Amino acid sequence: MKHYIIGIALLLSLLPARAQQSPRIVNIVNFIRLLEPRDPAITEDVLYQTVVAQVQLMRANKLPGTFLLQYDALMDPRYQQLLRSLPRDSFEIGAWWEIPQPLVEQSGLPWRGRYPWDWRANIGFSTGYSPAEREKLIDTYMHAFKKVFGYYPRSVASWFIDAHSLQYMYDHYHIVASANCKDQYGTDGYTLWGGYWNQAYYPSQRNAYMPAQRAAMQIPVPIFRMLGSDPIRQYDDGLEHERQGVITLEPVYPKAGGDSVWINWFMQQLVQQPALAFGYTQAGQENSFTWNAMEKGLRLQFPLIARLRDQKKVRVETLAASGAWFRKTFPVTPATAVVALEDLPGGDKNTVWYNSRFYRANLLWQDGHLRFRDIHLFDEQLASLYENKPATENECSFYTLPVIDGYLWSNRDTLAGLRFKAVVNGDTVNIAGGKPTVSEQPNTLVIHWPLKDQSGSFTITLKERQVSVAFSGKAPLQWFLDFSAAARKPLPFLGLDATTLTAKFENMQYALTTQSGTLQGNNTAFRMLPANNKIILTFKTDIH
């Protein structure tokens, strides 16, 4: 234990105090499977003892949290006894919405899986079933849960849940919170790409991955993004590979959630940096990874989280409590931010993620240069492929509307993005700048980026419906924003004129327009030129 205590003391000493402008929320969510068919060494007893150890460590640190039960674990007497013994004022018991064989057969449906729990998207998730079948599965689970615990679960989470199921759970069983996987590409066969980065959002009634723009079109159950992604490195990890890697707060990853330096850095960004409406992360781990793999990371993380709670730097609560607070506080999805203005030791990258119910944008600084690495638009009318029919393949994909995609449109030689450039002495160069600063206004993030030679600065303002870039300096600067992508990458652009770039993705048309500034170029490479030292971008969706 000595090395754990030393590591915890180091983490705490490195976290400075900060007067909170908005809450920083931590949910500890552990979800429980009865069995693990992928590894014969992971027996049902190993999985059970993992949960026992998680409970013990949480209680030792006086941390509340949420345990989510897959149906087969819900029906196991050992889990029933263990979880019923926990105090309800600090522990929440909810549903983990993966679909195992007993739930399917108890609902009167045929089992199509290879094992009693099969993780394929068309077998182990609600997307693999028709809307009517989804309702049967939900009714079976909910009635069994109430029989065991005496009430219906308030939280239901999974790597992904379809909108029909979420709406049905809300209408009939009054759930208050849900959660889904972080953004990832291809990991475990599941792609969720371009969504509300971290924090939480109200989903569209037509697509649980897509934030709704209007209260009338939203499912009134906030979906929290799981796993605590590294805001700098997770996005690009696994570039040009079929599947991304994982750089998250999950304690089983030795270079991320299992590493004391990374944990300190990640939590410092959470408590110190601007977040607008609120900051958020999810800690915890599913029992499938086993206690041996997660123990070191959790023994580093949980005492740190408890100390930050005691210092009133974070709020640690159940998923249901966060969902109820969100619903009470926000009638529609608020604007939030994930900001990292410090990098890990030896690194030189900074990043800002901005989310509103209309779009997300990401800025990345590296080597003193800046680019928009990502911009995706949200439209509540873009239906999921699985809205009314089941998935027929063993992988599932969820997307939003891409304007800039620094992952899918890049290769190792060319990183796609919208770069800050200038013409200096007849040469086109990347603008060199210093350290950015970030300030908050209602639903708005303002970024100030000084030039390296101190001759001027850029102000980047991110609002709910608009992005603006303005330059002021001691001398004129012939600057512009320059878009490029790797060769032969499929881009969604249809064409451009002086003020409008049109695009089409998954049969929906949308556009980027300039209120200030002009566009030059073609469908694969273009520039945004300022007017009176300012570029103002707005976005339109579902255009014809």
Q: What is the 3-state secondary structure (H, E, C) of 22-53?
A: CCEEEEEEEEECCCCCCCCCCCHHHHHHHHHH
Partners of 402 in the beta sheet? 376
pLDDT at 6: 45
242 domain-assigned: yes
pLDDT at 543: 57
Q: List C-alpha distances in Å: 86 to 53, 61, 65, 284, 286.
A: 13, 15, 11, 17, 18
479 domain-assigned: no
Residue-wise pLDDT tens digits, 249-294: 999 999 999 999 999 999 999 999 999 999 999 999 999 999 999 9
Instruction: Note the helical H segments in 150-243.
Output: 163-173
Residue % of the chain over a pLDDT of 70: 96
The pTM of the full predicted model, rounded to 2 decimals, is 0.93
- pLDDT of 13 higher than 60: no
Q: How far is CA 107 from the centre of its chain?
A: 32
pLDDT at 9: 46
DSSP H or E stretch at residue 352: strand 350-355
**Non-local CB neighbours of 189 within 8 Å, separated by 6+ positions:** 119, 120, 121, 394, 395, 396
Structure tokens that stand for 253 in this block: 């990853």
Average pLDDT over residues 111-140: 94
Q: List C-alpha distances in Å: 532 to 165, 275, 357, 496, 518.
A: 50, 31, 29, 21, 11
Average pLDDT over residues 185-199: 90
Domain that holds residue 130: 2-340
- pLDDT of 19 higher than 50: no
The CATH number of the domain holding residue 239 is 3.20.20.510
Residue-wise pLDDT tens digits, 392-435: 888 889 999 999 999 999 998 999 999 999 999 899 999 999 99
**Cα–Cα–Cα angle for 455, 352, 28, nearest 5°?**
155
Residue-wise pLDDT tens digits, 45-63: 999 999 999 999 999 999 9
Residue-wise pLDDT tens digits, 350-371: 999 999 999 999 999 999 999 9
23 domain-assigned: yes
Average pLDDT over residues 166-190: 94
Contact criterion met (CB below 8 Å) for 301 and 283: yes
Q: Give the residue from 87, 94, 209 showing the smallest Cα distance to 148.
A: 94
- pLDDT of 10 higher than 60: no
pLDDT at 249: 97
Highest mean pLDDT among 20-29, 210-219, 535-544: 210-219
Tally of domains in the chain: 1
Q: Mean pLDDT of all residues in the chain?
A: 93
Average pLDDT over residues 213-224: 97
- pLDDT of 4 higher than 60: no
pLDDT at 544: 47
pLDDT at 109: 97
